[in-house]
Structure 1
Amino acid sequence: MRRDRPSPYRLTPNLFGVGFGVAGLAQAWALAEDTVDAPSWPADVLWISAAVIWLVTVAAYLRNVIGQGRLRTELPDATTGPFTSLAVIVPMLFGIALAPHARVAGRTVFVVFLVLTVLLGGWLTGLWIRVDTRLDQWHPGYFLPTVAGGLIAAEGSAMLGFTTLAHVMLGYGVICWFVLGSILLVRLFTQPALPPPLLPTIAIELAPPVVAGNAWFAINGGRLDIVAAFLAGYAVLMVLVQLTLVTTYRRSPFGPGYWAFAFSYASAFTDGVHWLGIEHVHGLDSLTYVLLALATAALLALAYRTILGLVRGTFLPRSG
C-alpha cells in the first residue's frame, strides 16, 4: 500500500492571516456600501474569497500538523501559538457578513465562534501564566487571541443586536489590550529586535485602536464622542509609528508573516471611512474611494507576492 510522502513544508498558523486580511478588506467595502453607496459586488467577492481561503487553510494546516505529529505542540508554541486563534476568530466575521442574508444562520455562526474564541483565549492566557516564557519571545501576535478576538466580538455583537454582550466583549478586549500592550511595548522598547520573519507582526500594534474604534462606532450608533476621539488619538500615533518602520520591515523575508499587515491596515482604512462618513467631510465619496483603492491595491500586492512565492517554493517555511 502506497503511503503519502510527508510534506517538505511546515504550515504555520499565521497562514490564517491571509483569510483574515481578505475579510478585513471585505469589511471596508461593506461599510462603504452604507456610507457612499459603493457597489456590493467587491465586498461579496472578498467575503467569498475569504471563506474559501479559510476553508483551504484549515484543511491544509490540519493535514500538515497531523502528518508531522505537531498536534500537541502547536498551541503551546511560544512563537506561533497565538496565531492559532485566527482559525476561530475569522469565522466570526463570516457570521457578521452572513446575518443580513440569513439572520439565524449568521447569528449562530457568530455566537459559536465567539464562544470558541473566548475559550481559546482563556486557555492561552492561562498557558502564558503557567509556562516559563522569556520576554524576548513575545511579539505583537500575542494581541490576537484576546484583544483582536474580543474587539471583533464586540463589534459583531453590536451589529447583530447583542447589546449587553457587545459591552462585555469590549471590556474583555480593551482590558486585555491594556495588559498585553504594556508587556509588548516593554518587550519592543527594551529587548533585542524581533527575528526578521517576525518583524511584520509589529503592524499588529496598529490594530487595537482602530478595531476598538470600529467596535465603538458599532456600539454607540456611529456617533463621535470622547471615547471615539481617545481611540483615534492613539490610532494616529500608531499610524505614524508604522511610517517610521518601513526600512525595518524591509529586513524581513517575504513569507506568511507579511499578512500581519493586511487586517491591521484594512481595519485602519475602515476606521477612516467611518470618520469620513460621520464628519460629512467635503468630497466624501472621492476620499472614501481613494482609501478603498489604496487598501485594495495593497492586498492585491500581497496576494501577487504570495502566489509568486508559492510558485517558486519560497513562501512557506521548510520543515525540519
Structure 2
Amino acid sequence: MTEGRSPCSNLPLPLFAAVMGLSGLGLVWHAAESHWALTVPVSSLIGILSALVFVLLLAGYVCKAVNAPGAVLEEIRHPVRINFLPAISISLLLLGIQAQQVLPAASLWLWGSGAVLHLALTVGIVTRWLGGEQPVAAINPAWFIPAVGNVLVPLAAAPAGYLQLAWFFFATGMLFWVVLGVMVFHRLITGPALEPPMRPTLAVLVAPPSVAFLAWLAMTGEAGIGGTLLFYMAVITALLVLAQVPAFARLPFFPSWWAYTFPSAAFTVAVFRYTEATTVGGEALLVALTGAVTVLLIGISGMTLRAMYRGTLHA
C-alpha cells in the first residue's frame, strides 16, 4: 500500500492525550464516588472506555507505522511532537492506577510496563535534548509530558508497597519539572507567542504540581509542609491558566485541545484530596470542578468525533 493512503496514516500522535484525559476523568469520578459515597460506578465505566480508546489508538498507530513509516519517523524527529510520545506510557500508568482496586494483578502489569517504558522514553528524550541545537521556538509546555509521567508512578507504586521505586520516580519527575519550568517560562515570556495549535499546551503547566501533590500524599500519607506547598503551586498555576480561557475559546479545534483535559482532571483530584486531608475547601467547589471537567471532556470528545467524521482530525 502506498504510504499515506491508509486512513490511519493521518492519526496524530498528540491524540494519545485523549487516553490521559479520559483516565483523568475516571480518577475524578473515583474521588467523587469515594468522597460522596456514590453507588453508581461511573469511574469504572470511564475506565473501561479509557482502555478501549487506548487499544484503538494503539492499533491505529501501529497501522500508521506499517503504512506510513515516514510519517511516524517525522513525528519522532519533530522537536515538539516527540514530547507526546510518552503519552503512550503515561496512558499505561493511568490505566494501571484505575485498575488497582478491581484488577490488582493486571494493574501491576499495566503500571509496571508503563513505568519501564516511560523511564526509557525519558532517558531517550533528555539525551536528545542534551545533544544541543534544540530550537528555542520549539520549547513549550508539552515538554513537561515526559516529566509528568514520572511523578505519576508513585500513585501506583506506593500503595503497592514499592516505596523506594516511588521516591525514585518522584525525584526524577521533580528534577525535570524544575529544570523545564525555568526553560518554558523563559521561552513563554521572552520568545515568540505559541502557534495556535500549541496554545492549548499551556494547560499542561497545571499538571506537574497537581500530580506531585497526589504523589506526595500517596508516599507520606499526609499533606504536610511539602504537600501543602505543592498544592498551592498547583492553585496559582491553575489561576494563571484560567486567565487564558477567553483566548483559548477563540482557537479553532486541534487535537492538542486534549491538553486541556488531563491537567484539569489532575487538579480536580488534587482539590478533592487536599480537602479531605486538611478540611480546607468546600463541597460547592468540588461539585463545580467535577461538573466542569466532565463537561470539558464531553465537549472535546464531541469535537474530536466530528473532526474524525469530516476527515480533519490530522489538521
TM-score band by shorter chain is over 0.9
Cα separation, partners in 2 of 1:80 and 1:241, compared to 1, 3 Å: same
CA separation of 1:245 and 1:281: change in aligned 2, threshold 3 A: closer
State the one-letter code of the partner of 1:315. Answer: L
Q: Which residue of 2 aligns with 1:124?
A: 125
The size of the alignment, in residue pairs, is 313
State how far apart, in whole Å, the 2-side matches of 1:240 and 1:100 are.
33
| % identical equivalent positions | 27
* 61-70 or 180-189: bigger deviation: 61-70
CA distance in 1, matches of 2:282, 2:202: 33
Deviates more, 1:21-30 or 1:300-309: 300-309
Give the Cα–Cα distance (whole angstroms) in 1 for the partners of residues 285 and 188 of structure 2: 34
TM-score when scaled to structure 1? 0.91
Partner of 1:278: 277
Equivalent residue number for residue 101 of structure 2:
100
SS in 2 for 1:38: coil
User: What's the offset of the Cα at 1:61?
Assistant: 1.8
TM-score for the superposition, normalised by structure 2: 0.93
Code of the residue aligned with 2:69 in structure 1: it is G
Partners in 2 of 1:73 and 1:298 — Cα distance? 31
Residue deviations 1:16-59 (CA, integer Å, cap 9, x gap): 01111000010111122332212351101110111111111111
- Which position in structure 2 is the counterpart of 1:84? 85
Q: Distance in 1 between matches of 2:74 and 2:313?
A: 23
Cα distance change, pair 31–160 in 1 and its aligned pair in 2 (3 A): farther
- The two structures, once aligned, show a CA RMSD in angstroms of 2.0
* Cα deviation code 1:138-192 (max 9, x no counterpart): 11111111x1111111222112221111111110111110011111111111100
Structure 2 letter corresponding to 1:155: L
- 3-state DSSP of counterpart to 2:239: helix
Shift in Å, 1:3: 7.4
Which residue in the other structure is 1:242 paired with? Answer: 241
After superposition, the Cα gap between the structure-2 partners of 1:61 and 1:252, relative to the gap in structure 1 and judged at 3 Å, is: farther
Task: Determine helix, strand or coil for the equivalent of 1:160.
Answer: coil
State which drifts further: 130-139 or 97-106: 97-106
Amino acid at match of 1:37: A
1:302 is the counterpart of 2:300: yes
> Aligned partners of 1:66, 1:51: CA distance in 2, in Å?
23
Q: Mind listing any 5+ residue stretches in structure 2 that lack a counterpart?
A: none
Extract unaligned runs of 5+ from structure 1.
none
User: How far is the alpha carbon of 1:69 from its aligned partner?
Assistant: 2.5
Find the counterpart in structure 2 of residue 32 from structure 1.
32
Render the CA deviation track for 1:210-255: whole Å, top value 9, x for unaligned.
Answer: 111111111121x231111211221121111112212332343202
Question: Which residue of structure 1 lines up, in the alignment, with residue 262 of structure 2?
Answer: 263
Instruction: For 2:281 and 2:58, locate their aligned partners in 1 and report how far apart those are by CA, in whole Å.
Output: 44
C-alpha distance 167-131 of structure 1, shift in aligned 2 (>3 A): same
Aligned to 1:159, the other structure's residue is in SS state coil
